[in-house]
Amino acid sequence: MSKTIIFAIFGGFFASTASLFAKLAVDESALRFSLYFDRDPQTIKLFFHGVMVLLLVLSNSLMWLFFSKALSSSGSGSTVYVTAIQNLVNFSFTALYGTLIFHKSVGLKWWLGVSFIASGLAIISRQDPETKKSSEKEKPQEKKDL
């Protein structure tokens, strides 16, 4: 697996994790655990929101770091390739978080949409950009008359 794909996967993971922390920061139902503490529930609530916002900013920063690393390692002309991989990973982890943490069911239409995205990814990027680069270097350049 190339560096480009690994960076894009990490970017997608941190993108979905940033969304998770954003939902936890604003969702009141995520604060159920504060009832188990002896301290003032309002203090626990503010602390929890603050921690979630900090984790949101951290995850978002890491997402942009890995996205830009994926773009720079892939070379020119592969922005669609990197973006598609990152979005596919983001969607997959979003479904996983929704199911495991928020007990949401993901419907057949949603999975059908993700499969269309995966199919589009396969069509758009029939060949890894790094493989394209190496195969272009091996081909002799044709001289064109102007």
Question: pLDDT per residue over 40-61, tens digit each?
Answer: 667 777 888 889 999 999 999 9
Question: pLDDT per residue over 92-109, tens digit each?
Answer: 899 999 888 888 888 889
Amino acid at 132: K
Q: Does the reported pTM lie above 0.95?
A: no
**Cα torsion angle, 126, 73, 1, 79, sign:** negative
Cα distances (angstroms) measured from residue 42 to each of 20, 22, 37, 51: 22, 19, 11, 14
